[in-house]
Structure formats: C-alpha cells, structure tokens
Amino acid sequence: MAKGESSEVMKEQLKRGYLKLAILYTLLRGPAHGYEMIKKIRESTFGLLSPKAGSLYPSLRELEDSGFIRGEWHRGKRAVKVYTITEKGKEAFREVIEKHFSLASAIRRWLFENLAPIHSAGDYSVSSEITQRALKLILLGEKATVEERIEFLKDFRDSLKRIDEAIGRLIANIDRRIRELEVSLNKDYVASDKRL
C-alpha cells in the first residue's frame, strides 16, 4: 500500500468513528430519521462531517445491531425509520468522550514534555473537573441550566487564557533560542573566515 493510500484509509476509518459519535450525539438531543441526522450532523460539526446516505445508513445499522440506538418505522405520507438512543448508547457515548478527553490531554502533555528542553510551558491541561462539566453539558443538551453553562464557559475561558499564556511564553523562548543559534552560527562563520 502506497504512503498516500494508507493515510486515506486511516482518514476514512476516523471519519466512520466520528460519524458514529456524531449520530449518538445527535440522538442525545432527540429522535431523528436519517435525512434529519445528515442535516443536524452537518450543522453541529460546522460542515467538518457531511455524511452521505451511503455512509450514514451502514453506521446506523451497526449502531442498531450493537444496541446503541433503536429504530422504529413511522408511517405517514411515506414510511421513515426514526432512531432514538438507548441507555447503552448514552453510556457508550459518555465512555468514548471521557476516553477522548483523556487521550487528547495525554497527547498534549506528551508534546509539551518533549518541548520542555526548549522551555517548560507549565501545566496547562484542562482540568478533569472542567472535562466532567463539559461532558455533563453535552449529555444534558438543552436541559442544562443557564447557570451551569455560564459557569462552564467562564472556567473554560480561564483555562484557555492559561493555555494562551503558556503558548506565548513558549513562542518567546523559541524565538530566543533561534536568536542564540543564529548568533552561534554567525560566530562559526566568522571563525572559519579568519582561518582562511
């Protein structure tokens, strides 16, 4: 398999995984049929995921076969299958989101630890408390109180400010290190010219 092909395969697998999460997230907000889901997923992901029927319906079948969602036929002008999320689906969504936050946090820590030789950026990870609140708000959806939303957004804003400050310090130290290396390089050039 060529280099470009393997990255495309991985990208498609990720898209399928995120599509299933997007389906579960959409159904947390209420029952929907396939066409509604396509529209809601596109809107809620700002167009990053724009599923087609050919990818949505196999994912719906897999989620239904696994017991994460339930489909029920509704008869009207035309028959449509309306899906709802099950308790098993809610629990699976909660677990995947928690693991996703943990993985993202671990990757972030790893990156900054590897940048530590340049500059210690300090701890800027989003606290587990904020992660828990974010998950709660996602699961509550429209049922979250205005106070809960305000508190979460304030905490999240403060966390992002700390991240921004850490990144600012990191950039300043990288710039300083570049200048030091350039000075060192210039000294090497001058020294080699004198030997000639």
75: domain CATH number? Answer: 1.10.10.10
Instruction: Write down the pTM of the prediction.
Output: 0.54
Residue 129 banded pLDDT, cuts 50, 70, 90:
low
Pairing type for strands 80-85 and 69-74 reads antiparallel
pLDDT > 80? residue 176: yes
pLDDT > 60? residue 10: no
How far is 139 from 132, CA to CA, in rounded Å? 11
Last residue of a domain, one of 67, 85, 103: 85
Least confident of 8-12, 31-35, 119-123, 173-177: 119-123
pLDDT at residue 124, as a whole number: 46
pLDDT mean over 136-158: 73
Domain count, the chain: 2
pLDDT at residue 130, as a whole number: 60
Residue 11 banded pLDDT, cuts 50, 70, 90:
low
How far is 5 from 27, CA to CA, in rounded Å? 33
Dihedral pair phi/psi, residue 81, rounded to 5°: -95, 120
How far is 34 from 63, CA to CA, in rounded Å? 13
Same-domain pairing of 96 and 75 = no
How far is 145 from 16, CA to CA, in rounded Å? 32
Dihedral pair phi/psi, residue 47, rounded to 5°: 80, 0
pLDDT > 60? residue 1: no
Average pLDDT, the chain: 78
Same-domain pairing of 79 and 130 = no
Q: Which domain holds residue 50?
A: 3-85
pLDDT at residue 31, as a whole number: 95
How far is 64 from 130, CA to CA, in rounded Å? 31
Give CA separation, 97 vs 106, 134, 153, 161, in Å: 14, 10, 18, 23
Instruction: Read off the pLDDT of residues 98-112 as tens digits, 9 standing for 90 and up.
Output: 787 777 677 767 766
No. of helices (H) and no. of strands (E), the chain = 6, 3
Q: Which is more confident, 85 or 130?
A: 85
Q: Which is more confident, 86 or 155?
A: 86
pLDDT at residue 121, as a whole number: 46
Residue 15 pairs in a beta bridge with none
Same-domain pairing of 26 and 53 = yes
Residue 175 banded pLDDT, cuts 50, 70, 90:
confident
Same-domain pairing of 169 and 186 = yes
How far is CA 37 from its chain centroid?
20
Query: Within a 13 Å sphere around the CA of 1, how many CA atoms are in the beta-carbon half?
Result: 7
